[in-house]
Amino acid sequence: MRRPRLLITRPMPAPVHERAGTLFDLTIRKDTGPTTMAELSAALLDHDAILPSLGDVFSPAVFAGVVSSRCRILANFGAGVSHIDLAAAAGAGIAVTNTPGAVTGPTADLAMLLLLMSARRAGEGERLVRSGEWKGWHPVQLLGQDVSGSTVGIVGMGRIGQEVARRAAAGFGMRVLFHNRSPKTVPGVEAMQVPLDELLRRADFVVLTVPGGNETRHLIDERAFMLMRPEAHLVNVSRGEVVDEAALIRALDNRRIAGAALDVYEFEPAVPAALRERDDVVLLPHLGSATHAARAAMGMTALDNLEAFFRGDTPENRVA
């Protein structure tokens, strides 16, 4: 029987390529950069399945350019699918799956890393040492804020939010507030669900773990920054569009908040100079799930989803 044609849009860990090669007639795009609209439309015509990731923007226009798609499934590498227009995919008869479990732990770890770095001014300290300008210890050098015993406000209590709550409570004795669209409890963690405004008013650290996309676009805007405490730090490991970046820069300029630690950006990979030039921000290049184990597990989960689909079963992680 003819094997389905699969396109993997950028190089993956070797075991993922090896397994994919045993299951599919495989093409691996060598380029690590973003794909173009024309490339993606052509891929929909030429392949039975695509294993895309973050840099592949499947906008309605990509699907509109394809009269009859050969591709029947987009098995996304990653949990977030806001780069794929789900309605347009469904309209074209294309299933979409993701890899939620594989990214949860490492992304929650990274949220804690960002929170700690921002609170304790670790980026500033590291830059000082690297610059060769450090003149030695003194009592009021680079003083930050205590993490232990402080209050974290987690926006979005999905899998990653729950893991952040566990780490914050068990590891750092933090009080946990959270906001979520539907009522939620976090097994084993004392965490209080509150309205978003209350969370913003009370939290020392506001951690964003909501999905991206239109529903959460600019959830953290000028108004939100006005509610936050001047000592508060914002941590974003979700999607860049959740934060109005221009409003964030104004909030930092006006000392409305104490700092921000970001792994994701509104116009990724573009990061405004107004952020890059500041000392009160920590900026990472979307490293949430960037561990050897997580990236391999994400690839394997995407392949599990593809295998199930072509067997005629419903893939475990079907999102559309």
Stretch that binds ligand 8YV, among 77-85, 86-94, 140-148, 183-191 (CB under 6 A): 77-85
Contact between 216 and ligand 8YV by CB under 6 A: the answer reads no
- Choosing from 24, 58, 77, 225, the residue that interacts with ligand 8YV (CB under 6 A) is 77
- C-beta of 289 vs 317, nearer to ligand 8YV: 289
Rg for the chain, CA atoms, rounded: 21
Residue with the shortest CB distance to ligand 8YV: 78
Q: Which of residues 11-70 bind ligand 8YV (CB under 6 A)?
A: 53-54
- C-beta of 150 vs 301, nearer to ligand 8YV: 301
Contact between 289 and ligand 8YV by CB under 6 A: the answer reads yes
- Choosing from 79, 155, 206, 224, the residue that interacts with ligand 8YV (CB under 6 A) is 79
Provide, rounded to whole angstroms, the least separation between the CB of residue 243 and ligand 8YV.
Answer: 15
- Please work out the total of residues on this chain that contact ligand 8YV, with binding judged by CB under 6 A: 10
Phi (first) and psi of residue 277, to 5 degrees: -85, -5
DSSP string over 28-72: E----SPPPHHHHHHHHHH-SEEE--TT--B-HHHHHT-SS-S--
Provide, rounded to whole angstroms, the least separation between the CB of residue 261 and ligand 8YV.
Answer: 16
User: How far is Cα 208 from Cα 213, in angstroms, rounded to an integer?
Assistant: 13
Stretch that binds ligand 8YV, among 60-68, 74-82, 125-133, 250-258 (CB under 6 A): 74-82
**What single-letter amino acid sits at 136?**
G
DSSP string over 85-120: -HHHHHHTT-EEE--HHHHHHHHHHHHHHHHHHHHT
Stretch that binds ligand 8YV, among 24-32, 73-81, 196-204, 225-233 (CB under 6 A): 73-81
Phi (first) and psi of residue 200, to 5 degrees: -65, -35
Stretch that binds ligand 8YV, among 1-9, 75-83, 147-155, 191-199 (CB under 6 A): 75-83
Residues 6+ apart with CB under 8 A from 6: 20, 23, 24, 25, 26, 27, 47, 48, 49, 50, 51, 306
Contact between 156 and ligand 8YV by CB under 6 A: the answer reads no
- Choosing from 43, 84, 92, 103, the residue that interacts with ligand 8YV (CB under 6 A) is 103
CA dihedral 203→207→213→216, nearest 10 degrees, is -10
According to DSSP, the residues that pair with 193 across neighbouring strands are 178
Contact between 80 and ligand 8YV by CB under 6 A: the answer reads yes
Provide, rounded to whole angstroms, the least separation between the CB of residue 289 and ligand 8YV.
Answer: 3
Residues 6+ apart with CB under 8 A from 74: 49, 50, 51, 52, 58, 84, 89, 94, 95, 96, 97
Contact between 262 and ligand 8YV by CB under 6 A: the answer reads no
According to DSSP, the residues that pair with 259 across neighbouring strands are 233
Contact between 78 and ligand 8YV by CB under 6 A: the answer reads yes
Provide, rounded to whole angstroms, the least separation between the CB of residue 284 and ligand 8YV.
Answer: 12
What residues act catalytically?
Answer: 239, 268, 286
Stretch that binds ligand 8YV, among 78-86, 111-119, 253-261, 310-318 (CB under 6 A): 78-86
Binding site for ligand 8YV (CB under 6 A): 53-54, 77-80, 103, 107, 288-289
